[in-house]
Structure 1
Amino acid sequence: MREKFLLAVAILCFSIALSIAGAVAAEMPVAQPTGPAATARLSLDEALALFLRQNLDLIIAKYGIDYAQGQAITARLFPNPVLSVGAVGSWTQGRTLSRSGQVYPQVQQLFEMAGKRGYRIESAAYGIQGAEAAFEDAIRQLSFTLKETYYRVQLGLRRLNLAEENRDRFARILEINTVRFKKGFIAEVDLIRIRLQVVDFQSQVITALQDTESARADLRVLLQLPATTKLELTTDMEYRRIDPDVRAMQQLALDGRPDIRVKRIARAQRSADLKLAQAYRYPDVTIGGGYALQGPQGPDNPQQLGLSVGVPLPLFNRNQGGIAQGEVNVQVAEADLRKTLVEVENQVDIAHRNLIQSRNLVEAYQKGVLEDARQTLTIVERAYERGGATILELLDAARTARSIQLNYLESLFNYQRNVFQLESAVGREIST
């Protein structure tokens, strides 16, 4: 019988565990199933929307709000009453407990004084606000990571296209000059130089492809997509001139950045905790009531009502340590807030400076340097085909054009990254 009973209890516990697991799984966000070769076409805004729905770091941060709400529920609860039962009896001279004893059931209730429950509720409310602000700050920081990764994929694709273009160009030159070498029109060393350059451009193609696939993998991880998902990104890495007012940006950051709100809420919560610690100097009151039941041979036989009041005497412990700790916590929260304000102001200033410098560099390239590099390569290539330029001049023009184009792509990516960095520092998107 005992074994059957234990088996039944085990089955019941397992069933309850399965029910709880099923309920939790039903509430958790789940990515849509994708086929083995599914393709996701995403603009930057669509990637952000998918990111906000499925990123596990954000989901974990959101659970912090639920945890704080649970603490708020606990803070509102009253202490449970205590039921106690006492019995007194005599076994002498033929007496028994049922005939001469006394049973005294009593219910006691603790009443918190000096507003302790209210201070706990106040602190818990600040905890919810802080968790919500922390969740917004997680969105701010991780959104920057997503945008940067999105454009890192686009940068890799632009590099890959450039490397393939250079490889194909010199592959054609190699094919033509192989025929010319066989006819004795060029020296073997020139053919070797062209062949080496083709191999170098092929190496650059492989490197760019690896960098692009690595960035794609990072983006899939952020979006919680399977490794088999093919990503097609539709938002190009284009230049959009932005000239923000740094002072206005700093003020916006100081007024609305969520991590600053977290620190301000933490300071307010520490103040509420200090008030709670100070309230513990005053003792709580325990009130009890009971009914004494006596046997027929009790001392005076009639039934009795009882009332008790208990108050701790605060002679030694008046929560001196808790008050001292609360005062220190308030000072620490205040210092942490001031530190964050200084850091945010400087972050905006640095991000703005980097944006202006990268913007100037992009515009310098766009004023004609890129086109000059392309035309120079085309002119030298045509001159080489007519015999008016050497292979060294052609290779030098190709390397210069490639270097200028790569530097432009890097500057364009850095400019866009600095735009996102400034938006992250301010805590909002920048339109002008």
Structure 2
Amino acid sequence: MRVESPRLWFFFTASSILCLLTSLSVLADAAQPPLPSVDTIREPPPSIRLSLDEAIALFLKQNFDVLITRYGIESNKGQEITAALFPNPLMTVGTLSSYTQGRTLSNSGQLFGQIQQLFELAGKRGYRVEAAGYGTRSAEAAFEDAVRQLGFTVKDTYYRIQLAQRRLILAEENRDRFSRILEINTIRFKKGYIAEVDLIRIRLQMVDFHAQVIQSLQDAESARGDLRQLLRLSPKTAVELTTEMDFRRIDPDINKLRVAALDLRPDIRAKRFTYSQREADLKLAKAYRIPDVTIAGGYAIQGSNGPDNPGQVALNAGIPLPLFNRNQGGIRQAEVAVQSAEADLNKTVNQVENEVDVAYRNLIQSRRLVEAYVGGVLDDARSTLNIVERAYERGGATILDLLDAARTSRTIQQNYIEALYSYQHNLFQLESAVGQEIRS
């Protein structure tokens, strides 16, 4: 191409260089990966690994219900402080003047002041302090009882996650096994070696196992949500559990458990303290039959035109006469409160005794069931499925035999997982009923 004009030649050269630079820029941008936008940058969610003991410790530190119950103890301590305080004295200041015979407030007025103090008799203050002290101890025992009950919930929720995870593992194993069987039999069906109805049966079984996987995932997420709420963790926190749901044989002594429950259960101690508090309230109500004494002392200053005694000192005492009100209603109410507290205590004792017996029997029965599975049933179920699967691959068993063996193996293994969880649940229930951890 020939360019005659210098201007045209310059324009053509500049355009060529610009196109070349643009092409190089596009190629450079294409060679470099695009930078991520601000919206695509995400911090990984926090993760926490927890053993069962660590979960309990975190629960005691952060659970809202535990914190609220602990505040109740501080409130009762405030009542103790109030009960120990003495009544405030009363100060009275006044003037008195005569306006006859040229007297005025400035030359004949009287200025007087007086202080009164109430003195409580019959040990009223001591009874109030005693009742408030029992109230604080009852609140402390109620706090321990809240920890006992919520601690059981934390343990049970922890193992509900383990139960769901064990179900998930079992469902995934069965799904993967039948996924391989489905792939093989799809090829066999195309070659005409098996009937279509057998392939359909395998597909239906695959759907069932897939549904079990989804259900196990949902159960695990639900239990994790409950645990995060108990431990006051963010919903974004990934929780990994390190304590496995294993079988540990426990053979406790029921007689020792009954005695320990009556001594250690914090709800029984709380009811005992409440009963003692009501007895102190009754003593206080009876003490109010005796009136209190008010003692007052004062001093008066008179003006220049007053009597000959310009300074006067006064001292007096006052006491109500218990002619009509001798706190009859308060005493009756306090007596009923004592009877009610005693009945409530007896009810709690009876309830605890029954809880211990029921939890003990449930533990023994669930232990026997777990031991029956551990004795060889699980291995037999797995072996049977493997034998039938190999026989089916060689043509020595039908698809119905394989499906029946798979269902039996799944049922046995799932029942074992359920029995193991039930055993742990009943063990935690017995520990909660007794009020202490059971080691043997």
Give the alignment's TM-score, normalised by structure 2: 0.89
1:156 aligns with 2:164: yes
1:263 corresponds to = 271
1:70 aligns with 2:72: no
Task: Give runs of aligned pairs for residues 179-328 of structure 1, distance below 5 A.
Answer: 179-328=187-336
CA displacement 1:337-376 (0-9 Å, x = unmatched): 1111111111100000000000011111111111111111
Paired residue type of 1:336: D
| Of 106, 125, 134, the match for 1:98 | 106
Which structure 1 residue ranges, 5 or more long, are not aligned? 1-34
The offset of 1:90, in angstroms, is: 2.3
| Of 353, 369, 380, the match for 1:361 | 369
1:169 aligns with 2:177: yes
| Of 172, 178, 190, the match for 2:186 | 178
CA displacement 1:8-52 (0-9 Å, x = unmatched): xxxxxxxxxxxxxxxxxxxxxxxxxxx751111111111111111
| Of 126, 131, 147, the match for 1:123 | 131
- How far, CA to CA, are the matches of 2:336 and 2:405 in structure 1? 67
2:353 corresponds to = 345
The offset of 1:106, in angstroms, is: 0.6
- How far, CA to CA, are the matches of 2:296 and 2:309 in structure 1? 23
Q: Secondary structure at the match of 1:103?
A: strand
1:55 aligns with 2:63: yes
- How far, CA to CA, are the matches of 1:197 and 1:210 in structure 2? 20
- How far, CA to CA, are the matches of 1:272 and 1:123 in structure 2? 5
CA displacement 1:292-341 (0-9 Å, x = unmatched): 11112224452101112111111111100111111111111111111111
- How far, CA to CA, are the matches of 2:70 and 2:317 in structure 1? 45
Paired residue type of 1:364: A
- Give the conservation status (yes or no) of the 8 Å contact 1:106–1:291: yes
Q: Secondary structure at the match of 2:217?
A: helix
Q: Secondary structure at the match of 1:293?
A: strand
Runs of 4 or more, structure 1, over 4 Å off, are none
Task: Give runs of aligned pairs for residues 387-426 of structure 1, distance below 5 A.
Answer: 387-426=395-434
Paired residue type of 2:424: Q
CA displacement 1:170-218 (0-9 Å, x = unmatched): 0110011111111111111111111111111111100000000000010
- How far, CA to CA, are the matches of 1:414 and 1:95 in structure 2? 97
- How far, CA to CA, are the matches of 1:111 and 1:65 in structure 2? 30
CA displacement 1:216-245 (0-9 Å, x = unmatched): 010011111101111110100000000111
Change (3 A) 1:36 1:114: farther
- How far, CA to CA, are the matches of 2:45 and 2:310 in structure 1? 87
- How far, CA to CA, are the matches of 2:289 and 2:303 in structure 1? 44
Q: Secondary structure at the match of 2:240?
A: strand
Give the alignment's TM-score, normalised by structure 1: 0.91
- How far, CA to CA, are the matches of 1:258 and 1:66 in structure 2? 18
- How far, CA to CA, are the matches of 1:410 and 1:364 in structure 2? 13
1:24 corresponds to = none
Q: Secondary structure at the match of 1:68?
A: helix
Q: Secondary structure at the match of 2:245?
A: coil
2:389 corresponds to = 381
The offset of 1:93, in angstroms, is: 4.0
Aligned length: 398
1:114 aligns with 2:101: no
Work out the percentage of aligned pairs sharing the same amino acid. 70
In terms of Rg, which structure is larger?
2
- How far, CA to CA, are the matches of 2:185 and 2:409 in structure 1? 21
Which structure 2 residue ranges, 5 or more long, are not aligned? 1-42
Task: Give runs of aligned pairs for residues 29-48 of structure 1, distance below 5 A.
Answer: 37-48=45-56
Paired residue type of 2:355: Q
Q: Secondary structure at the match of 2:174?
A: helix
2:148 corresponds to = 140
